[in-house]
A and B are shown apart, each in its own frame.
Chain A
Amino acid sequence: MNKAILSILGRDRPGIVAAVSRTLFQQNCNIENVSQMMLQAEFAGIFIVSMPPGTSAEDLHRGLCSSLAPLGLHVHTKPCEIGDDHCATDPCEPFVITTRGPDRKGLVADISEVIARHGVNITNLQAVFKGGDAPGDNIMIYEVDVPTVVDHQALAHDLRTKAEGLRLEINIQHRNIFETLHRI
């Protein structure tokens, strides 16, 4: 299958998704997955599309750039590699790591370094830093997949040690607790 992954970045405004999808439709592409979000006033969207035979990611990129550049949007396009949708992974348990504490530079880098060192994959990250020392104003939420072979105690210990050094309150909890509490 001939697929490409696109990322679209730019100042948010009405009509971005419409413009992207119209261009894709005109190029006879089929959208398979879309995820979009807004951070402050900026739009970010990721699309995986299947392209008709004979169309390359470069062709698609040129088409998108010409229609989206006037809207102030930046486009990055990359062909999907074969096997991307069949990644073999170890069995994992979903956990959520949260931190609260005073803002400073390098918090995400420091915490994610510990997570990476243990071979744990971050599946979703939300972080809000409003600055200052109010714990509720500076929050990081990492949703992670912890392979069952990972030493959970050692991961928790390393994260706590790192968080202490950064004066952060840290929690590592199985994802089920949040779903159990809030969802029927």
Chain B
Amino acid sequence: MLTDREIISTLDMLKNEHLDVRAVTLGVNLLDCAGSDLNHVRRRIAERVMGLAGKLVPVCERVGQKYGIPVVNKRIAVSPIAVVGAALSPADLVEIARTLDAAAREVHVDFIGGFSALVEKGLARGDRSLIAAIPEALAATERVCASVNVASTRAGINMDAVLLLGRTIKRAAELTADRDGAACTKLCVFANIPEDIPFMAGAYLGIGEADAVINVGVSGPGVVKNAIDRALSTRPNLDLGSLSELIKKTAYKVTRVGELIGREVAEQLGISFGVVDLSLAPTPNVGDSVGEIFQSLGLLAIGVPGTTAALALLNDAVKKGGAFASSRVGGLSGAFIPVSEDLNISEAVRNGHLCLEKLEAITSVCSVGLDMVAIPGDTSPETISAIIADEMAIGVINNKTTAARLIPVPGKAAGDHAYFGGLMGQSTILPVNNGRGDNPFIRRGGFIPAPIHSLKN
């Protein structure tokens, strides 16, 4: 027999605290669709994606209904297109992006990730073509997401690729100048990219993965915030160790929900279940914010002194709760701090509590990195590359994933407002130190070697 407390607290988590399954992401292996004939490759990709993903949305809806848990986003992640389309030209790869976009629309998923390249140890022909195609591919499509892994703890940082990506981001922003550079919201530059992220824009299907896999992304910043608020309302003097324990238990519950839903969706689709990624991923809704958690913990706003320590506590507790809940935890699993996607974080920027430098500092203890950061449109490509290089260094040296999703908003300056709409949200544009200045360090290119602790064997 269930207790009424178990039932009522479940209903509260669902109704008032925005507990949901943020994304069920179907990984689709396209490696055997490779070829040098564009039309042939396009046809095979379309057939494969639509064949495997045709039932994804209805099955997710049905399973969501059965448990009363909404599956908010249904998505697809494909093999890196730089590999699948290695023999194709940049113009051809833009056509591949259109094919992916059309297939995604056909099966009613909101994003399809995997317009990706892995270049941490060098740029192959397909990688160069893909990176060259990214600006137009992202500008011309609505649902395609791109990612490029430019660094790893084992390989170091490919600074040639970092330099190239700075220019690529700038170009993508220019092509979507009428939408505040929205193409850049669909492009992540990574260090140590996981092969099984269910969250966009970084989702792709790793080279080591099977033909198809279901990965699930669960969120729940509102659930964590409410758990903290409830505990503090009865015990206002609760110490940080106790709060960490509370967050851990809450993360456990949320992760269990993700695994339940993911396994059932996978079973109904006849596809193997991959991982559950518990990430506190905010949306631009009140009560669904990571920033609000910092305030519940006692900080004036995210960004003030104490923020890094608070985020370290939060990220660690989330990971521990997730690890206890499931033996299939993967992806990023931690706390996201995407500026424009979180009302409270963008408010902290507007009020001057959070600057780029503090954001960079806290990425050393969060699960991703500089995410959805709007910067002035006149920031030079070299400076964008330099920001990326700093972020990659944090990931490489600390043996963790970091990423940069930067949007140089065309025609706008620091303090102006950028609007991306929908899940991508809006933000005040952050000032960048030496934004337009020269940067010979970055232009040197080459590789920053792997750190000493990469020599593990």
Q: Which residues of A contact B (CB under 8 A)?
A: 96, 98, 100, 124, 126, 128, 136, 139, 141, 143, 152, 156, 169, 171-182
Nearest B-chain residue to A172, judged by Cβ: B68
Measured between beta carbons, the chain B residues less than 8 angstroms from A171 are: 11, 14, 68
Q: Knowing A98-B11, A124-B1 are in contact, say whether A181-B68 is a contact too (CB < 8 A).
A: no
Interface status of B65 (Cβ within 8 A of chain A): yes
Query: Which residues does B use to contact A, with CB under 8 Å?
Result: 1-2, 4, 6-11, 13-15, 65-69, 253, 256-257, 259-260
**CB within 8 A of B2: which of A143, A152, A156?**
A143
Q: Which residues of A contact B257 (CB under 8 A)?
A: 177, 180-181
> Is A139 a contact of B4 with CB atoms below 8 Å?
yes
* 25 A/B residue pairs, CB under 8 Å, sorted by A: A96-B2, A100-B11, A136-B8, A139-B4, A139-B8, A141-B7, A152-B66, A169-B15, A173-B10, A174-B66, A174-B67, A175-B2, A176-B260, A177-B68, A177-B257, A178-B2, A178-B6, A178-B7, A178-B10, A180-B256, A180-B257, A181-B10, A181-B253, A182-B6, A182-B9
Do A177 and B10 have beta carbons less than 8 Å apart?
Answer: yes
Contact between B256 and A126 (Cβ–Cβ < 8 Å)?
A: no
How would you classify the secondary structure of chain B's contact residues: helix, strand, loop or mixed?
A: helix
- B69 contacts A156, CB within 8 Å? no
Shortest distance from the beta carbon of A31 to any chain B beta carbon, whole Å: 20
Q: What's the nearest-Cβ distance from chain B to residue A122, in Å?
A: 13
CA distance A174 to B264 in the complex (A): 12
**B2 / chain A contacts, CB cutoff of 8 Å:** 96, 124, 141, 143, 175, 178-179
User: Lowest 4 A-B CB distances belong to which pairs?
Assistant: A173-B68, A177-B67, A182-B6, A180-B256
Cross-chain contact B68 with A141 (CB below 8 angstroms)? no
Complex alpha-carbon distance, A42 and B14, angstroms: 34
Contacts of A177 in B (CB 8 A): 10, 67-69, 257, 260
A33 to chain B, nearest CB (A): 14
Given contacts A143-B1, A143-B2, A181-B253, 20 further A-B contacts (CB under 8 A): A98-B11, A124-B2, A126-B4, A136-B8, A141-B4, A141-B7, A156-B65, A171-B11, A171-B68, A173-B10, A176-B260, A177-B67, A177-B68, A178-B6, A179-B2, A180-B260, A181-B256, A182-B9, A182-B10, A182-B253
A100 to chain B, nearest CB (A): 7
Residue among A124, A128, A136, A181 with max Cβ neighbours from chain B (10 Å)? A181
Q: With CB as the reference atom, state the residue of chain B lying closest to A171.
A: B68
In the complex, which residues of chain A have a beta carbon less than 8 angstroms from the beta carbon of B8?
136, 139
Q: How far is the CA of A184 from the CA of B78 in the complex (A)?
A: 34
In the complex, which residues of chain A have a beta carbon less than 8 angstroms from the beta carbon of B13? Answer: 181
Verify B6–A181 contact, CB threshold 8 A. yes
CB contacts (< 8 Å) of A128 on chain B: these are 4
Complex CA gap A173/B67 in Å reads 5
Give A35 to B67 CA distance when docked, in angstroms: 29
B7 touching A98 by the CB < 8 A rule?
Answer: yes
- Closest chain A residue to B69, Cβ basis: A177
Most buried by B among A100, A141, A175, A180: A180
Question: Least Cβ distance of A84 to chain B in Å?
Answer: 21
Cα A128 to Cα B8 in complex, Å, equals 12
When chains A and B are docked, how far (Å) is the Cα of A174 from the Cα of B64?
Answer: 10
Nearest chain A CB to B259 CB, angstrom units: 8
Give the shortest distance, in Å, between B58 (CB) and chain A (any CB).
13
CB nearest to A94 among chain B residues: B2
- Closest chain A residue to B9, Cβ basis: A182
Q: How far apart are the CA atoms of A51 and B8 in the complex, in Å?
A: 42
Nearest residue, chain B, Cβ from A136: B8
CA of A122 to CA of B66, assembled, Å: 18
Residue of A nearest to B260 (CB): A180
State A33–B14 Cα separation when bound (angstroms): 36
Residues of A near B10 (CB, < 8 A) are: 173, 177-178, 181-182
Whole-angstrom CA separation of A150 from B321 in the bound complex = 38
Q: Which residues of B contact A174 (CB under 8 A)?
A: 66-67
* C-alpha gap A136/B11 in the complex (Å): 11
A87 to chain B, nearest CB (A): 19
Chain A residues with CB below 8 A from B259, complex form: 180
